[in-house]
């Protein structure tokens, strides 16, 4: 364990709930504190109490389900990284001790996500206003799209950014820039978005100065290489990390620039425009429409108010005879396969009555509708060997993107596993994991349900 009273209290919250045993609970908290949530690196002692609130939220989100707990643990580091970074920098402004206690004992996980969303919306608005008035002449920076780890390592790894050798500042690189020198770390970040490096054209000749950098992490060295992570579907900025791995001795180097306007001031050109130009057609154009309309186009999204559940969005993915097939963008709850008929029939009654009148079908997807031999030959071969795939249902093009197979719980945004109707054995069914890959599990297990439905 990490050796604080708060980590022990946090682990006890989890184990006392019966969700995991004491040993597993300790490991969960230790991983969150030491590895997964970078905001805890060199954090002030008061921040450690937030572990208790995180543990409480884990228990609440899991609601007795270990699969939902795992989904939460997979997704939550990004959420808490943004939240806790802001708290560290603005604690006095937001209430100090009273805000700490509110987080520990009252705030829900959705409250945290809402806090982040509101904060980011304000930043995005300010960034857009600032970018609209900026004028750029010349720049000593270039934006380098990163396609794979090998490229990242060859261009910016090794002694250019620290190679983890016994010499802490090997080659002037400081501690290792982990995503350039560790393929597993790179892959972990890459699942969240696409990497770019904002590189000073003279970065190789800019040397690390420990005195200057300790006083100002955004000095010439820190700013000479900035790794930025971008949501490929929206173009939104997710993270921006300086060349120096840690800010002085007090914090993580993550999220040092929080808006495109801040990055553009450093770069001397509009970084957002450059990113969007590179992403091109991969940026989704979200088209929200009213479900009352008569006809739909592929890609249309609707919002459905499910009685007793809440608002959930769904995307039109396929035209069928007499209607349009929609798939919920996240899971709508948990169920066993043994109880799936009852779950789906009950869900149908929760649609608004005018929409119920137009529902022709509500069902689970087949594995063949989600995967194909062209999309992922190895995954397809595995499915053919282990499940009874219905070959008459070809893959829906929407699911060629792994991002559309990776989903959230619609109502609490924890990463979800979700059932497919393909049978593996009489007691096992296929499902899609949180990483978008196929697997199968026993029918009596309770995991996420992501239904498809046809509107006439």
- Does 122 score more than 70 pLDDT? yes
Q: Are strands 300-306 and 287-288 parallel, antiparallel or unpaired?
A: parallel
**Cβ(130)–Cβ(261) below 8 Å:** yes
Going from N- to C-terminal start, the domains of the chain cover 5-131, 138-282, 287-455
| Mean pLDDT computed over every residue of the chain | 83
Render pLDDT for 393-437 as a digit per residue (tens, 0 to 9).
678 888 887 778 887 655 544 557 899 988 877 788 888 887 788
Rg, C-alpha atoms of the chain: 24
Q: pTM for the full model?
A: 0.60
Q: What angle, rounded to 10 degrees, do the helices at 260-267 and 109-133 form?
A: 40
Q: What is the mean pLDDT of residues 184-213?
A: 83
Question: What is the pLDDT, as a whole number, of residue 424?
Answer: 75
Among residues of the chain, what percentage have pLDDT more than 70?
Answer: 86
Question: What is the pLDDT, as a whole number, of residue 174?
Answer: 44
Q: What does each C-alpha distance from 95 to 66, 72, 174, 224, 236 come to in angstroms?
A: 34, 27, 36, 36, 29
- Residues 6 or more apart whose Cβ sits within 8 Å of residue 176: 161, 162, 163, 164, 182, 245
**Cβ(65)–Cβ(446) below 8 Å:** yes
- Residues 6 or more apart whose Cβ sits within 8 Å of residue 336: 443, 444, 445, 446
Render pLDDT for 37-55 as a digit per residue (tens, 0 to 9).
878 876 788 999 999 999 9
| Rounded Cα distance, 422 and 428, in Å | 9
Q: Long-range contacts of range 24-31, CB-CB < 8 Å, 24 or more positions apart?
A: 26/1, 28/58, 28/73, 29/1, 29/2, 29/55, 30/1, 30/2
């Amino acid at each position: 364990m990490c050796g604080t009273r708060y980590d022990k209290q946090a682990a006890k919250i989890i184990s006392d709930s019966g969700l995991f045993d004491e040993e597993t609970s300790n490991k969960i908290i230790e991983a969150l504190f030491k590895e997964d949530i970078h905001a805890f690196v060199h954090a002030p002692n008061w921040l450690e109490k937030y572990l208790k609130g995180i543990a409480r939220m884990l228990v609440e989100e899991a609601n007795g389900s270990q699969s939902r707990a795992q989904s939460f643990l997979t997704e939550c580091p990004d959420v808490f990284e943004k939240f806790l970074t802001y708290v560290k920098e603005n604690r006095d402004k937001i209430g100090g001790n009273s805000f700490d206690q509110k987080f520990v004992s009252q705030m829900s996980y959705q409250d945290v996500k809402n806090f982040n969303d509101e904060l980011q919306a304000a930043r995005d608005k300010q960034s857009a206003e600032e970018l609209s008035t900026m004028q750029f002449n010349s720049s000593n920076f270039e934006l380098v799209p990163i396609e794979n780890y090998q490229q990242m390592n060859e261009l910016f790894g090794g002694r250019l950014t620290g190679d983890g050798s016994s010499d802490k500042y090997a080659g002037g690189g400081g501690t290792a820039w982990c995503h350039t020198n560790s393929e597993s770390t790179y892959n972990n970040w890459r699942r969240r978005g696409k990497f770019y490096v904002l590189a000073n054209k003279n970065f190789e000749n800019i040397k690390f100065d420990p005195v200057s950098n300790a006083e100002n992490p955004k000095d010439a060295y820190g700013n000479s290489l900035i790794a930025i992570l971008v949501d490929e579907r929206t173009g939104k900025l997710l993270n921006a990390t300086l060349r120096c791995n840690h800010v002085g001795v007090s914090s993580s180097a993550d999220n040092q620039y929080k808006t495109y306007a801040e990055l553009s001031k450093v770069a001397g050109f509009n970084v957002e425009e450059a990113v969007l130009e590179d992403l091109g057609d991969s940026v989704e154009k979200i088209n929200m429409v009213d479900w009352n309309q008569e006809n739909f186009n592929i890609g249309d999204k609707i919002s459905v108010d499910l009685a007793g559940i809440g608002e959930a969005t769904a995307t039109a993915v396929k035209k069928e005879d007499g209607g349009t097939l929609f798939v919920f963008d996240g899971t709508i709850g948990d169920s066993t396969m043994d109880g799936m008929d009852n779950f789906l029939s009950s869900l149908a009654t929760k649609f608004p009555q005018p929409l119920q009148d137009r529902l022709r079908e509500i069902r689970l997807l087949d594995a063949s509708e989600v995967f194909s031999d062209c999309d992922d030959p190895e995954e397809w071969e595995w499915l053919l060997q282990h499940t009874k795939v219905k070959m008459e249902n070809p893959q829906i093009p929407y699911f060629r993107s792994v991002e559309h197979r990776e989903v959230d719980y619609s109502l609490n945004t924890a990463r979800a596993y979700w059932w497919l109707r393909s049978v593996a054995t009489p007691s096992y069914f296929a499902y899609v994991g949180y990483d978008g890959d196929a697997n199968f599990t026993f029918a009596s297990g309770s995991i996420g349900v992501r239904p498809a439905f046809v509107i006439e």
